[in-house]
Amino acid sequence: MKPALPALLVLIQLEPAHLELVSAQYDVRYAPTAEGRAAEVAAHGKTFRAVLTNGTVGLTATEIAAMPALEVVCALGAGYENIDLAACRARGIAVGNGAGTNDSCVADHAMALLLATVRRVPALDHATRDGVWRNALPLPPNFSGKRLGIVGLGTIGRRIAQRGQGFDLEIGYHNRRAREDVSFSYFADVGALAKWADYLVIATPGGPETRHLVDTPVLRALGPHGYLVNIARGSVVNTAALADALRAGELGGAGLDVYESEPLPPKELFDCPNVVLTPHVAGWSPEAVLASVSQFLENARRHFAGEPLFAPVG
């Protein structure tokens, strides 16, 4: 008789093929909605040995307390800011993530947003469809040969820097501390980086420490010919300050894949000039999602085999 499969609670949306892949190895309860989540924790909380979530959906201390058999929690993707790590540590619950699985996808999307914003691609597309020729339009500036400031030079930030170098961009960055393995210019202050840069790309983790790191002074330092891109977490940018800066002409434009109101769209930005918005898809592609699911399976396999996680958190 085969041993029972470990009970797994999945709190995020998965493609049918990926859910089938996971279900082949675990006894899955699928709860990607708030209502389903509450119902599953209440009805089956005592049985779950593993949870699959992500940084946005997270896992609360109350939910952890309702799962006395819980051994491992994994985030699909790199973010884990809404998983209660303290509650996990107190119980000895292993926590892993999908670090590295979607870095290239996120970096690609960051550059796509930056190019689309600087070269005003969406506005030019709309004008073309309306029959407006270039003579009646303001010309977008050159993209190459400028200064790219990156807030957060982790694995994703470094991939963005690599892509920027392909456009002959000079790279500067802000981090908690300077990195010894790069030759890029280091700025201890975000405002100083913004004043230096033509483009500012946000690639830092979310959470209380970085909330509204980019606010009115930083946006003014970036200036009317500067461009902001955020592919990190919506909480890092003060949305109201961004809207004010764009309407006042204090910022050249912004490309956002994340925002404070998500999953609701940032309606306060809808009437702002030169804003490009995407629905938090920077890290999502068929290749990246499959890699993240595969890394979850490897993390969980290692845990239940008594081995260290492939990508541990903390």
Residue 176 annotated in active site: no
In a domain, 312, yes or no: no
Give pLDDT, residue 162.
Answer: 98
Give pLDDT, residue 2.
Answer: 60
Q: Assign 99 to helix, strand or coil.
A: coil
**Same-domain check for residues 223 and 248:** yes
In a domain, 46, yes or no: yes
Catalytic residue among 44, 91, 280, 298: 280
**Same-domain check for residues 173 and 272:** yes
In a domain, 72, yes or no: yes
Residue 233 annotated in active site: yes
Give pLDDT, residue 78.
Answer: 85
**Same-domain check for residues 191 and 258:** yes
**Same-domain check for residues 149 and 228:** yes
Domain that holds residue 23: 7-99+286-304
pLDDT tens, position by position, 243-262? 999 999 999 999 999 999 99
**Partners of residue 1 on adjacent β-strands:** none
Query: What's the token pair of residue 227?
Result: 């461009």
**Same-domain check for residues 18 and 43:** yes
Catalytic residue among 170, 262, 268, 298: 262
**Same-domain check for residues 60 and 149:** no
Query: What's the token pair of residue 79?
Result: 């973010």
**Same-domain check for residues 14 and 157:** no
**Partners of residue 53 on adjacent β-strands:** 75
Looking at the 3D structure of the chain, how many domains does it have?
2
In a domain, 207, yes or no: yes
pLDDT tens, position by position, 90-140? 999 999 999 999 999 999 999 999 999 999 999 999 999 999 999 999 999
**Same-domain check for residues 272 and 291:** no
> How many other CB atoms sit within 10 Å of the CB of residue 271?
10
**Same-domain check for residues 199 and 293:** no
Give pLDDT, residue 3.
Answer: 73
Residue in 13, 206, 53, 25 with CA at minimum distance from that of residue 70: 53
Alpha-carbon gap, residue 48 to 61, rounded angstroms: 15
In a domain, 116, yes or no: yes
Residue 209 annotated in active site: no
Give pLDDT, residue 24.
Answer: 96
**Same-domain check for residues 73 and 169:** no
**Same-domain check for residues 138 and 173:** yes
In a domain, 226, yes or no: yes
Q: For the chain, which residues score pLDDT lower than 50?
A: none
Catalytic residue among 159, 233, 302, 303: 233
